[in-house]
Structure 1
Amino acid sequence: MSRHLITVILVVIICQQGFASRILGVFPATSISHQFVYRQLTLALRERGHELVVITPDPINDPTLKNYTEIDVHFLYEDANKIVNCVSPPNKTTWLEKVQDLAEKFMLMSQRILSHSVVKKVYAPNSGEKFDLLIIEMLFWQALLPLAKRFDVPVIGVSSFGLSLHLQHRIGNPVMPSHPVHWDAEIKVLGKLSLWQRLWNLVYAWRLVHFIETDCLPRQQMIARKYFGNDIPDIADMEKNISLVFVNQQAPISFVSPNVPKIINIGGFHVSKHIETLSQDLQKTLDEATHGFIYMSLGSNFKSTMLSNKTRGEFLAAFSQLPYIVIWKFEDILPGRPDNVITMKWAPQQTILAHPNIKAFIYQGGLQSTEEAVSYAVPVIGLPILGDQYTHVNKMVSLGVGKKLGILTFNRMDLVEAIRSVTTDVNYKERMLKLRDLMEDKPYDSLKNAVWWTEHVIRHKGAPHLHSTTADDPWYQRQDMDLIFIISTVIWIAFSITLFVLYKLLVYSINCSKDNRQLMSKKKRA
């Protein structure tokens, strides 16, 4: 019996080793909240027996992890920290203008990764390194795509938030400029739009795509040729033919839109299944908050210290009027804070949100924080600052589980009113509980589903059967725009000819009528 058991175990081990693949992951984003999403995927793949080599600015640095090698590119934060204050009035610009300002930074990031000594050893032609798959973060680092050509492997793209407009267009997804799912389309109004608003959204969306196509991509191509040689394929084509794209969007908390088959929605990877314990002092404070407490955080990228003194003063004045304790993630000393405000340089956010005494969550609208708020059924007050944060807050407001304020325009009374609304109106909490149930009601675990799709791509050496032919069509053939133009032109020409003929007939009739009157007049005189 023991021999049979040993044989079975050996067979299972051999089968697992036979399927185990070597995967290269490249995730340049200088944001720990983004990295948490990617980290959960790579760790899950490691648990399945695959070997991972991960390029990241936020390594785990756990020497006990086997088959998990990290290449630390934390130096990318040096460039990220040079970004100007995104919550100051001079930066009230569109996403297109921000991308234009940051384009140089994205180019520099691509070059710094490819010129890193350890990374260069990996992709050197004589390195001896072999991989079965490349998983890469999709945003503005297309110069890294030739890594797939170097190792002759398929590519899976991944985004920790909604896919940008130019990437939607590249892979053949329908680009609907007035649809709120496009967070970078700068949509200011939700619901029924006027003709002028739709026209502006159309112009803006295609200006953004045009800038990426004509400015960013050619420069990324030059960087790629510098490090991989002149014989590399066009990176636009490589991006178009990517095998699969994981997009961190969940239908209940997103503005739903049609997707091509190669887009696989994921979400909630980073939400912990095990709540960590709080420090004794914080646990005691929250337990004794008999009236409840409010938690405020502007996330990991935007610090509360970036707020102007005037804005801080409005927050403090509003908080002083509340019967609640306020836990504020504030990265420095905060002078003038009232007794009910407690500041923390770092806060265990998920554990705080899971506490039963919490009343509301004041945040910047980040997707990961939104997922956490829903997972723990906490009503929100959003003060969006940049990018997709406006979309997430708009969605929360549309679902009736939160309020939205302008980070630069609100006053203390606005904030007090918003807090009182979400804390005293039980409908906000009830709707959030229903939203949480809806999020959890799905036929599979999102992380396991992502692992399955990853292995599907490896098994089939890519996923050409998921490729949409719309990605190969020129822009004017998508959604039959060229046919609509031809039909519209024919109708307009036919209409114009008809009008011209009618005009000529009318003129002819008038002239005939005049001639008849003149003829009758002559006969009468005769």
Structure 2
Amino acid sequence: MKMNMHIVLYVLGAICCSGAYKILVVYPLPIRSLNILGEGYVRHLLKAGHEVTFITAFPKKNENNKNLRQIDISSNAQIFAGDNTFTIKHVMNGEVPVNDVKMLQEFSLACSTMTFEHENVKKLMEDPTQHFDAVVVDLYETEVHAGFAALYNCPMIWSYSMGAHWLVLRLIDEPTNPAYTADYLSSNVLPFSFKQRVEELWAQVNWCWIKWTNTTPKERAAYEKYFKPLIEKRGRVAPDYEELVYNASLIFGNEHYAFGNLPRTPQNFKFIGGYHIETPAKPLPEDLQTLMDNAKHGVIYFSMGSTWSSKDMPKSVIEGLVKMFGKLKQNVIWKFEADLPNVPKNLKIMKWAPQPSILAHPNCLFFISHGGLLSSSEAIHYGVPIIGIPIFFDQFVNINKATAKGYAVKVTLNYDLPKNLEEAIQVMLADPKYRQKAKELSAIYHDRPLSPGDEMVHWVSHVIRTAGAPHLRSPALHVPWYQKMYLDLAAGVILALAVVVVIAKRVFGMRKKEAMKEKKN
């Protein structure tokens, strides 16, 4: 009997372990908000029982989960060393090139190169005993990390921190039409005017030109330097870089249908916006819980995100904001990264704030935000309206879309910020439609068959179980561009017409000659 019980337990254990996979999660950029998304993958995959190796610039200390191995690349932060221009003040003064495509592509590739050169990553890559069932990599302006999938001979899954934008859809299907889809660096919102359609078309043409002439050759060189020798050392032929780039099994987009204005997407693009949000929200610290519980007139939460620091605003703007907040009846929580003296009683300064927990509290009236997609997702998740002050990247289009949807008010980042923000606050306080709309969109956001984290785990497992999920891939990748545009048909028609014209000319020419001969006779 005991022997039978041991056999049963062994079989059950084997069944439980058979669904566990080894997954490599790569987040090379030293940007805290992006790493939060990476941590979301790690948390859900570990919860599902998988083994995770996490390449991260923000490793967690005292992490004791036996299924997690962290590859520390925190030294990648050196890419920002000595550069003090990337601040709110310099953006306001026009000293930072906003959304320079070439700069963004080169920055991303530079971070990738630093990652491949890191001794901890080199040790992992050069170890022939290492293998993974799938690779999940943060996708931002470079696809050189596709080399990991070739190295470990496993499916490639991209994690995109934004939505279904044309420059990522091109990797698994085809770019969307610029007549009705905005570039992520754009501020245009549908419907487009003629001028805006031209701007969107130019954005795609310009990006492709810079990518083709400047970035792709460097990416190919990096792939051949860091991956090709290791792949060949393992006894396999290294695939061509251009072929490898378009071999992804799946792309996860950090967006949801509730945001609206989404283009059509192929079967292997999955919306999992909000997967990084822990549910239920963590309890607030005692002092913050007391403040929000006792706020008779509600609480306004103000944060410019994890990358941008409010402390870097011009001194006159900071002083103006403090004075303006002090006139409000509401309590204000401001994530401000330095000590701030002489603040009014209703203003609480926090160097780091538990943002989801604050937004989850029923007394949180609205969120003053820079409009990053993580913050935007959290606002929709908890049904909190937004006053948006966009600074960079996709923040402009995020806030413009939120404004068009009716749950946000936009404020321009300039030296008149205290005055303009006060006006926006009064508009938000006076009109309940913003909060009502935020609640409506939150209901749409939550109305899905699975939580985004569970859905992500399902699709990762599905890709592994089906050897890369080729059945989900779009046939568009296998059709040459000239066939998609029917240029071969057009060429055939033109050729046929040309032949008809030539024959007609000859026939009429011969008849004309015969007629002239008869006339002479």
TM-score by length of 1: 0.85
Amino acid at match of 1:11: V
Tell me which residue corresponds to 2:358.
Answer: 352
Say which is worse superposed, 280-289 or 437-446, in terms of deviation.
280-289
Q: Contact 1:85–1:306 at 8 Å: present in 2 too?
A: no
Partner Cα distance (2:87, 2:397) in 1: 17
Partner Cα distance (2:321, 2:483) in 1: 51
Tell me which residue corresponds to 2:20.
Answer: 20
Tell me which residue corresponds to 1:501.
Answer: none
The answer to whether structure 1 residue 365 and structure 2 residue 364 are counterparts is no
Alignment of 1:25-424 (within 5 A): 25-80=25-80, 82=83, 84-87=85-88, 88=91, 89-91=93-95, 93=97, 95=99, 97=100, 99-124=101-126, 127-184=128-185, 186=186, 188-229=187-228, 232-335=238-341, 337-408=343-414, 410-424=416-430
CA-CA distance at 1:159 after TM superposition:
1.4
Tell me which residue corresponds to 1:510.
Answer: none
Say which is worse superposed, 240-249 or 53-62, in terms of deviation.
53-62
CA-CA distance at 1:32 after TM superposition:
2.6
CA-CA distance at 1:362 after TM superposition:
0.2
Closer, same or farther: CA 416–484 of 1 in aligned 2, 3 Å: farther
- The percentage of aligned residue pairs carrying the same residue is 29
Q: Contact 1:27–1:56 at 8 Å: present in 2 too?
A: yes
Partner Cα distance (2:98, 2:131) in 1: 42
TM-score by length of 2: 0.86
Partner Cα distance (2:435, 2:122) in 1: 52
Q: Contact 1:296–1:362 at 8 Å: present in 2 too?
A: yes
Residue from 455, 463, 468 that aligns with 2:469: 463
Say which is worse superposed, 435-444 or 332-341, in terms of deviation.
332-341
SS of the equivalent of 2:158 reads: strand
Q: Contact 1:142–1:235 at 8 Å: present in 2 too?
A: no
CA-CA distance at 1:378 after TM superposition:
1.6
Q: Could you report, residue by residue, the CA deviation over 1:400-443 in whole angstroms, capped at 9, with x for unpaired residues?
A: 11101111265433212211222231222222222111111112
Partner Cα distance (1:75, 1:222) in 2: 23
Partner Cα distance (2:408, 2:373) in 1: 14
Closer, same or farther: CA 44–473 of 1 in aligned 2, 3 Å: same
Q: Contact 2:87–2:309 at 8 Å: present in 1 too?
A: no
Amino acid at match of 1:304: S
Structure 1: 5+ residue stretches without partners: 498-526
SS of the equivalent of 2:371 reads: coil
Q: Contact 1:171–1:239 at 8 Å: present in 2 too?
A: no
Q: Contact 2:188–2:397 at 8 Å: present in 1 too?
A: no
Closer, same or farther: CA 171–410 of 1 in aligned 2, 3 Å: farther
Closer, same or farther: CA 405–175 of 1 in aligned 2, 3 Å: same
Closer, same or farther: CA 430–51 of 1 in aligned 2, 3 Å: same
Q: Could you report, residue by residue, the CA deviation over 1:354-411 in whole angstroms, capped at 9, with x for unpaired residues?
A: 2222221101001111121122222110111111112221222122111011112654
Q: Between Structure 1 and Structure 2, how many residues are aligned? A: 489
Tell me which residue corresponds to 1:512.
Answer: none
Tell me which residue corresponds to 2:444.
Answer: 438
Partner Cα distance (1:5, 1:451) in 2: 32
Partner Cα distance (2:480, 2:95) in 1: 35
CA-CA distance at 1:6 after TM superposition:
5.6
Partner Cα distance (1:191, 1:116) in 2: 44
CA-CA distance at 1:276 after TM superposition:
2.7
Closer, same or farther: CA 309–133 of 1 in aligned 2, 3 Å: same
Partner Cα distance (1:120, 1:377) in 2: 44
Larger Rg: 1
Q: Contact 2:249–2:470 at 8 Å: present in 1 too?
A: yes
Superposed CA RMSD? 2.9
Residue from 450, 454, 458 that aligns with 1:452: 458
CA-CA distance at 1:78 after TM superposition:
2.0
Closer, same or farther: CA 319–477 of 1 in aligned 2, 3 Å: farther
Say which is worse superposed, 405-414 or 369-378, in terms of deviation.
405-414
